[in-house]
Amino acid sequence: MLITLHLLNLQFFARHGLYEEEKRLGNQFELNISISFPSDRQVIDQLDDTINYATVYELVKNEMQHPRELLETLLSQLAQNLKTTFPQITHIKLSIFKLQMPLNHFVGKMGVEIEKQY
């Protein structure tokens, strides 16, 4: 059986960005995480048989506090940290959206997604 854990629409304030204004003022970010891992259990009734989403959240929260110029760098590091913490992961999909762009007349949000198969 393949189990996929989703943490969606996580909201963080952080100072990621290439431009000085982004580094100084910060921004709101939305993060989505999907991680998959195999299980041979018919019934999952112990936390040790799965991936603890609270631990995943704490890892993400900590990583968001380290400013990066590029969101691609942030997601790559986050994927690496998740795989190191949970070696049973066979697939990771991460996306992050910057909710306010420092561009005149830009309406919407900008995002980056990475996907890794192990």
For the chain (118 residues), the mean pLDDT of every run of 10, in chain order, is 96 91 89 96 85 96 95 97 97 94 76 97
Which residue, 37, 28, 86, is CA-closest to 57?
86
Count of structural domains within the chain? 1
Q: What is the domain extent for residue 51?
A: 2-117
pLDDT at 100: 80
pTM of the model: 0.89
CATH number of 37's domain = 3.30.1130.10
pLDDT at 43: 83
